[in-house]
Amino acid sequence: MFYIGKVITIFLHPITWAVLFFIYAVNRKKAIPKIYYYILGIFLFLASNRVFVNQLGRSLENPIKSRASTIYPTAVVLGGYCSWDADRETIIFYEAADRLFKAMHLYKTGQIKQIVLSGGTVFKSEDRRSEALVARDYLVEMGIPVKAIYVEENSRNTYQNALETAKILRSKNINSITLITSASHMSRAFRCFKKQGFSIFPYATDYHTVKPGSFVWFDYFVPSTKAMIQFDAFIKEWVGILAYQLMGKI
């Protein structure tokens, strides 16, 4: 099921549809009706339009209101922000690295007391180090004591993040957590951990949307490759939420 999900995500890319359409058009003996070109053109325009994509993303990034008056002392940081480059022997940070940096800031300012790093290796291999271990080593280098860090390195998706992290938290009699993940990912992650019975203070990071009215005139017409990347991420998240609902995971 895990690998099936990964294959399905390939067909969520706008570029994938464009390439498939091109291959189909080249190999088709009869002329393709113009309506299909118009449909593809509109689809690609919307997927690369900053204003449209921003509105799509805001539906995900609207903060979840928490009933907690203060941040809980145990923070769970979900993976997807770094990896280890064995060739260059250095850590590689991705766009979602704000998750880890915000956790480090909260610890340094005394707002949290311990950090649970959740994230294994998506495609397991003896040559790959789990993301949680890589992040732990980085935090230790930055001055956070290793005794304040717990590592969960078995999970490969959001549902497994919640399932595997719950085992660690329950062994420590921890029932309330500060959940740190990207704003667009918070809705699904929040519900996964809520399903495990935890009280949660959501701490969203790396927002990608802005308030309506923040655009200039050409943003409404000029395609943006950055917008297309964000569209891809937002659609994946919506599909993920729907899939988790259908499977009863949230």
List, for residues 210-236, the tens digit of each pLDDT value: 888 888 888 899 999 999 999 999 998
Report the domain count for the chain.
Answer: 2
Query: Which range marks the domain in which residue 122 is found?
Result: 74-205
Predicted local distance difference test score (pLDDT) of residue 9: 67
Percent over 90 (pLDDT), the chain: 55
pLDDT band of 7, cuts 50, 70, 90: low
Q: Residue 189: which of 173, 176, 210, 203 has the closest Cα?
A: 203
* The pLDDT value given to residue 13: 76
Is residue 16 a part of any domain in this protein?
A: yes
Answer yes or no: is 101 within a domain: yes
Give me the pLDDT at residue 194, please.
Answer: 94
Question: ∠ CA 115-116-117 to the nearest 5 degrees?
Answer: 110
Asked if 75 contacts 114 with a C-beta cutoff of 8 angstroms, the reply is yes
Residues 170-187: tens digit of each pLDDT: 999 999 999 999 999 999
Residues 182 and 149 in one domain: yes
Which pLDDT score, from 0 to 100, does residue 201 have? 93
Does residue 12 have a pLDDT over 80? no
Q: Residue 114: give its domain's CATH number.
A: 3.40.50.620
pLDDT at residue 3 is higher than 90: no
pLDDT at 142: 95
23 and 50 fall within a common domain: yes
Residue-averaged pLDDT of the chain: 88
